[in-house]
């Protein structure tokens, strides 16, 4: 018997995704490495991230419908994203996943995809690398 798998967005659902993004940005807003590259008010950032993650996980294309093609690397080029910042971003996400109880195979696959995305966004060396340390 063939079982049809749920798309990832159906597996997490809109409510859990929203919880995850709010828990994630609560951490981002307090992380010393990340604060400088985010706005003071996270309201719009969270809204856009929920739209993007909905689409990223196979849900409706609500991000593209409102903002055009994601072009994530291009949209982030004016921010200094270092390997340390990418790691801090991932740590905030892992902690948020813990907080909302995201686990199992879904979490494992989703997190691996986010790791690839975070590394793809890196566009600058760590500050200590620039100084020759």
| Residues in contact with 73: Cβ distance below 8 Å, sequence separation at least 6, in sequence order | 120, 121, 123
Distance in Å from the first CA to the final CA of the chain:
58
Please check whether residue 54 is in contact with residue 14, taking contact to mean a CB–CB distance below 8 angstroms: yes
How far is 47 from 14, CA to CA, in rounded Å? 12
Tokens linked to 16: 């859990």
Instruction: Please work out, in degrees rounded to the nearest 5, the angle formed at the alpha carbon of residue 126 by the alpha carbons of 122 and 132.
Output: 135
119 is in an annotated binding site: yes
Residue numbers in the known binding site are 119
Residue numbers in the known binding site for heme are 119
């Amino acid at each position: 018997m063939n079982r049809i798998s749920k798309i990832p967005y159906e597996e997490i659902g809109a409510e859990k995704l929203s919880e995850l993004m709010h828990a994630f940005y609560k951490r981002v807003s307090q992380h010393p490495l990340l604060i400088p590259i985010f706005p003071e008010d996270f309201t719009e950032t969270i809204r856009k991230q929920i739209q993007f993650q909905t689409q990223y996980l196979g849900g409706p294309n609500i991000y593209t419908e409102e903002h055009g093609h994601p072009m994530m690397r291009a949209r982030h080029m004016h921010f200094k994203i270092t390997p340390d910042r990418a790691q801090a971003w991932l740590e905030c996400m892992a902690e948020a996943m813990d907080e909302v109880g995201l686990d199992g195979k879904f979490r494992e696959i989703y997190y691996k995809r986010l790791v690839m995305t975070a590394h793809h966004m890196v566009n600058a060396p760590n500050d200590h690398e620039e100084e020759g340390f």
